[in-house]
Every structure is written in C-alpha cells, then in structure tokens.
Amino acid sequence: MIVTRVTTTPIAGMKPGTSGLRKKVAEFSRPHYVENFVQSVFDAVRPEAGFGGLTLVVGGDGRFHNREAIQTVIRMAAANGFARVLVGAGGILSTPAASCVIRAHQAFGGLILSASHNPGGPDGDFGIKFNAANGGPAPERVTDAIHARTLAITEYLTVDTPDLDLDTPGTRALGSLAVEVVDPVADYLALMQRLFDFDALRALFARGFRLRFDAMHAVTGPYAHAIFERELGAPAGTVLNGTPLPDFGGHHPDPNLVHARALYDEMMGPDAPDLGAASDGDGDRNLIIGRGIFVSPSDSLAMLAANARCAPAYAQGLAGVARSMPTSAAVDRVAQALGIPCYETPTGWKFFGNLLDAGRITLCGEESAGTGSDHVREKDGVWAVLLWLSILATRGQSVREIAESHWATYGRHYYTRHDYEDVETEAAQGLMEHLLSRLPHMPGESIAGRRIVLADDFAYTDPVDGSVSKHQGLRIGFHDGSRIVYRLSGTGTSGATLRVYIERFEPDPARHGLDPQTALAPLITLARDIAGIPAWTGREAPDVIT
Ligand code: VG1
Ligand code: CO
C-alpha cells in the first residue's frame, strides 16, 4: 500500500458549528474539500505516538454523498496509520449508535457523516463531525484546533485503491488497515436491552398498545424496525418511512410540528395511536406526541427525569440533570424536588460531555427535541421513545394523564420557539448586536407591565474543566419568571436563522390547558417588539413555530 501525499491549500469557512461542519453538498463535493477537513481533524487530534493500534468508527445517516465521503475517510484512515476502521454496513450509523460503537469497541474516536435535521439530496446539506473516545462530540477546544488546522493545511494523506465493499459484513484489509463492516444496529440494540425491560415492553404491545414512529426516511428506520417491530412485537406498519433514502424522500428530516405534520394530524385525529414519535436525519432527536397532546421537548425532559425510575437503568435514581440554556426550566423543578443538581449549559450536545463523563448528571436534554442519558454521549431519539414506553408501561396511564399530573405537581412551563429562517446574515447580526448593546440598561426597566430582572449575554464556565464559552445567546428575564432568549443558529448553511425562545411559568392547574401560543401571546409580541424583528428582518411572522 503506497501512501500518497497530496498537496493542497486551505479552504475558507471550515469552522465547525453547533454540531460539526455543515455545508451544501455542492461545497462538500469540491475537489479536496472532504480531504482537507478530514486531514485537519486527524492532524488536530493525532496522539504523539500516531494512530498505530487505534480504531476509528465511521458511519453516517445515509444522505446523498454519504458513501463517497466514507470511501474517502477509509482511504485517509489507512494512509494516516489507523489499525482498524469500524464502518456501519451500507455506510449507516445513527449518531447515537456511532457513539455507542465508539464506546463499546474502545475506539479512538469516530467520524459521523451527517447534517442531521438539515435537508439532503444533491441540492441539500452534508456534514462531518468528530467524536472522541468517550463517544461524544469534540469539545470546543478540539473544534477550534481543527478549524485552525484547516487554515494552515498544506497536504493530506491518502491511498490509491478502488472503492471498498461497504455492504457485506466482515473484515477486509486495506494495506495494514483492517476495515470491519459491522451491523449498524447490533451494538445499539444490545445496549438498549441492558437499559430497558424488553419483556415488560413486549407485554405492553401484546396488550394492544399502539405506537406510530415516523423515521422520516432517515437513519432510524433500521433501528426502529429492529427494536419496535422485531424485538418488541409492535405490528408491522408501526414504523413509517423506515427506509433511509439519500434525499429523505424529498422531505426535511426535522421532527417538528411543521415537518412531521402528518404524524401530528394522526395523533390529533379520532383513532389516534397511544404514542406518536419521530426522529431526525441522524437519529438523535425525538418528537413525542400523545393521543391528542403534543409534549414539548422541554416538558418531555422534565417528565422523563421525574419518571426515570420506571426503567431498570435508572431505577437507582439520577445523579443530576442538565439542560441547555434555552430549554425551559421545567426540569429544574423536578431536580429541586428530587434534591439533585441541575446544570444549565450552552446549546449543543458537546457541553454535556464533561458532566456525563464526571458522573455529575445522568439525564440531559435540549428544547430542540434532544434527550439523552449517560448510556452514550449523544442525544438519542430511539432511546427517548423506549424510556417513554417504559413509563407508559409502568404507570399504565396515557401520555395526557402523565403530562397533566406532572403539571399539577410541578406547575407548567408554557414554552415556544419561533424560528426565522434564512434571514440575511447582516440583518440578523445587526439585530443581535443592537440588542446586545441595550442589555446593560435593561435590568430595572418595565416593558408592557413586566419588570426586567435579568438581561445578559449567556456565558458558561464548565464546572469540570473550567473552560469558558461566551456569546451563547441573549437572555431577558422578567420578575414573574418569564423569559425571552435570542440566538443565532449554528447549524444552518444559508443565511442566518434567528431563534427566539419564549417561556412563562403557570402554577395554577386551572390554567394548564391552554394552547401555548395563546398562553404566551403577550410575551410573543413583546419578544418581537424588544428586538424589532420585523424592522431588522423584514419578516412579520416566523417560519417555524414549535
Ligand atoms: C440546533 C439545536 C441544538 C442542537 C443542534 C444539533 O442548533 O438548536 O439544540 O444541539 O441543532 O442538533 P442551532 O445552533 O441550529 O440552534 V442535530 O440533531 O441537528 O445534530
Ligand atoms: Co440530529
């Protein structure tokens, strides 16, 4: 095997965002693009002794360009001296499964090829992220080093070989590199069997419980078919859109109330199943809808935390919990009642890694439909559904009953997120900068009858390693505990997306049955006015409301 050193020059714009590097497929298809980024990752993380003896995990969500990129990564892994590559058959590994495989096989790390909830296909998005030996997304220190390297790169290493067969399980040699094509589901299924009582869940389905899981033609199809239908005995047809397609069937694999509308409508309909769920492109998100009731991700996190003991893995209780800053404080109330710590981190799963590794938290989540635990180092869509199923099986109640009793106990955090997508970048930045400049004067002011008690630019000091992350979103808090947060997305690939997060606490059970848009209407108006959203963006209304 002859290693080729290919001369290259830096390509601008390779700064990983909230979750890896995401760009249009057209950009990733440019000569040297994937190679430059992958070599920069290798250069940034290479141990002093090199990659000899080490294992790299590779897989993706099956989107357009997945296979081409995997072939490139494998050649470069061989040239860079790795001993072994584990690759999911068909190039498939969901993000949580990749995390699981890295941990189960003591790999050095992994490259996950996905742009997650972003659309796919030739005109869609592609992405790459590096996960470390703990199975979790590289922390900022590492992504900064990768970015620095992309700006200084002069060459990459590869080998000249024909494409490898990625579909037939088994081990093949590429020079001194062993390429093992593995079942993408096996390790993950084994882990789920250790965490949950599969007999109890089988009994639930045997009693006629009805689940509808929309895999959105994305990566969770094979996992959902194997676990819900084959292992747990849910009837065929439980899993919808279960075959991963390179363009996700032309749909946007984002499990929200806009893109998973058909599931939502079915769950609100006359003969709705007991539980409706969906996951995103790379399988790390979860949408939870009960019969006639949508459970917001922030509420879902709180309800999972309050009921986690229903699954064997969490029967001993939780060490602590964490949520991203824009996520509602519903889980904080559960933590307080349980007498366990609750951490508030910036947006992005990488910020949970240290807390999980240190054993400070067991469960964590984000308002963007991400929930997970210490079983892997990623959020995990199928896992969240299994935990919900465990709770429903143990409590023998409906999703609605569980939600309503939760609110009666802890109070309800009305919550919504309004997204303004593909806004002109300068306009979005102008809005944020202008707002930022006004924050220092805000505390003490009253607007529309609400007194501002907090106005800041959220910064986070990691309690484990002391690292500081600044500029993580603008927060405005009011005397009654209600809150507005503004952030610019770090996962988009064109223009800017402004996210506005709005929250209000309602202690009175007589007022827990409102539509969140109604319950939050005055705050929604306030959020628009404070930031001058129409004036800056030219938009009168958000594109997506969740
Ligand atoms: C979004 C979500 C964030 C999530 C990230 C990756 O980031 O808000 O909570 O961690 O996507 O999720 P942003 O910067 O666009 O707000 V995934 O499922 O796309 O990997
Ligand atoms: Co995702």
Tell which atom from ligand 1 comes closest to the C-alpha of 348.
10
Q: Can you tell me the distance from the alpha carbon of 275 to that of 226, in angstroms, rounded to the nearest whole number?
A: 18
Is 448's pLDDT higher than 90? Answer: no
544-545 and 412-423 beta bridge pairing: antiparallel
- 90-94, 223-227, 333-337, 541-545: the lowest-pLDDT one: 541-545
Residue 17 Cα: closest atom of ligand 1 = 14
| Ligand 1 atom 11, closest CA | 491
* The pair of three-digit structure tokens given for residue 54, joined into one six-digit string: 């080490």
Residues flanking ion ligand 2, Cβ below 5 Å: 116, 280, 282, 284
Helix or strand (DSSP H, E) at 333: helix 330-338
Average pLDDT score over residue span 449-470 = 95
Q: What is the pLDDT of residue 333?
A: 98
| CB of 379 closer than 8 Å to CB of 366 | yes
Please, which pLDDT band fits residue 493 given cuts at 50, 70 and 90?
Answer: confident
Query: Given the CA of residue 20, which atom of ligand 1 is nearest to it?
Result: 20
The residue to mutate among 19, 118, 252, having the most atoms of ligand 1 within 8 angstroms of its beta carbon, is: 19
Bigger pLDDT: 439 vs 257: 439
Ligand nearest to the CA of 351: 1
Residue 15 Cα to ligand 1 middle (Å): 15
- Residues near 182 by beta carbon (within 8 Å), at least 6 away in sequence: 86, 87, 88, 89, 101, 169
Residue 93 to residue 76: CA distance in whole angstroms? 19
Query: What share of the chain in percent tops pLDDT 70?
Result: 100
Q: What is the mean pLDDT of residues 472-480?
A: 96
Of 248, 366, 368, 485, best ligand 1 pocket probe by most atoms within 8 Å of the beta carbon: 368
The alpha carbon of 339 and the centre of ligand 2 are apart by a number of angstroms equal to: 31
Whole-number pLDDT of residue 490:
85
Q: Topology of domain 3-183, per CATH?
A: Alpha-D-Glucose-1,6-Bisphosphate; Chain A, domain 3 (3.40.120)
Residues involved in catalysis: 116
Ligand at minimal distance from the CA of 492 is 1
Residue 476, both tokens: 């405005």
Q: Do 3-183 and 188-410 share a fold?
A: yes
Atom number in ligand 1 closest to CA 499: 16
Quick one: which atom of ligand 1 is closest to the CA of 366? 9
Q: What percent of the chain has pLDDT over 90?
A: 96
Q: What pLDDT is recorded for position 164?
A: 95
Residue nearest atom 18 of ligand 1, based on CA coordinates: 116
Q: Pick the ligand that lies closest to the CA of residue 472.
A: 1
Atom of ligand 1 nearest to the CA of 281: 18
Element housing 148 (H / E): helix 140-150
Find the mean pLDDT for residues 264-281.
Answer: 97
**307 contacts 402 by C-beta, under 8 angstroms:** yes
Predicted TM-score (pTM) of this structure: 0.95
Q: Which ligand is nearest to the CA of 346?
A: 1
pLDDT above 90 (res 477) = yes
Residue 381 to residue 366: CA distance in whole angstroms: 12
Quote the CA–CA distance of 382 and 285 in Å, as a whole number: 8
pLDDT at 293 over 90: yes
Q: Which of 29, 150, 55 is nearest to 107 (CA)?
A: 55
What is the structure's pLDDT at 384? 98
Instruction: Answer yes or no: are the C-beta atoms of 107 and 134 closer than 8 Å.
Output: no
- Residues 155, 6 contacting (CB under 8 angstroms): yes
pLDDT, mean over the chain: 96
Looking at domain 412-545, its CATH superfamily turns out to be Alpha-D-phosphohexomutase, C-terminal domain (3.30.310.50)
Q: What angle do CA 101, 55, 190 make, to 5 degrees?
A: 20
**For the chain, how far is it from start to end, CA to CA, in angstroms?**
52
Q: How far is the CA of 539 from the centre of ligand 2 (A)?
A: 27
The residue type of 125 is: D
| Three-state DSSP class for residue 348 | coil
Question: Which band of pLDDT confidence, cut at 50, 70 and 90, is reported for residue 176?
Answer: very high
Q: Does the pLDDT at position 1 exceed 90?
A: no
- Residue nearest ligand 1's atom 10 by CA: 348
User: Per-residue pLDDT averaged across 228-239, rounded?
Assistant: 97
What digits encode the pLDDT tens for the residues 141-164? 999 999 999 999 999 999 999 999
Q: Which of 515, 506, 507, 501 is nearest to 292 (CA)?
A: 515
CA of 118 to the centre of ligand 2 (A): 8
**96 Cα–ligand 1 center, Å:** 15
Averaged over 498-522, what is the pLDDT? 96
Distance (Å) from CA 218 to ligand 2 centroid: 10
**pLDDT band, very low/low/confident/very high, at 522 (cuts 50, 70, 90):** very high
**pLDDT tier at 344, thresholds 50, 70, 90:** very high
Ranges of each domain in the chain? 3-183, 188-410, 412-545
| Reported confidence tier of residue 328, pLDDT bands at 50, 70, 90 | very high
Say which ligand is closest to the CA of 127.
1
Residue 311 CA to ligand 2 center (angstroms) comes to: 24
Q: What is the pLDDT of residue 19?
A: 87
Tokens of 197: 């009582």
Are residues 124 and 103 in contact, defined by beta-carbon separation less than 8 angstroms? no
Average pLDDT over residues 379-392: 98
Place of tokens 């001194």: 176
Measuring CA to CA, how many Å separate 227 from each of 59, 196, 235, 259, 539? 20, 12, 12, 24, 43
In this structure, the residue with its CA closest to atom 15 of ligand 1 is 489
Return the CATH number of 188-410, one of 3.30.2350.10, 1.25.40.10, 3.40.120.10, 3.40.50.10540: 3.40.120.10
CA 251 to chain centre: 18
Residue whose CA lies nearest to ligand 1 atom number 4: 348
Closest C-alpha residue for ligand 1 atom 16? 489
Euclidean distance between CA atoms 456 and 543, whole angstroms: 26
List phi, psi (to 5°) of 511: -120, 30
Task: Choose the residue to mutate in 114, 126, 347, 489 for probing ligand 1, maximizing ligand atoms within 8 Å of C-beta.
Answer: 347
Q: What is the mean pLDDT of residues 355-376?
A: 98
CA of 293 to the centre of ligand 1 (A): 24
| CA distance linking residue 58 with residue 113, whole number of Å | 8
Residues with CB under 6 A from ligand 1: 18-19, 116-117, 280, 284-285, 324, 347-349, 366, 368, 370, 489-491, 499
Contact between 363 and 319 (Cβ < 8 Å): no
Q: What is the pLDDT of residue 18?
A: 85
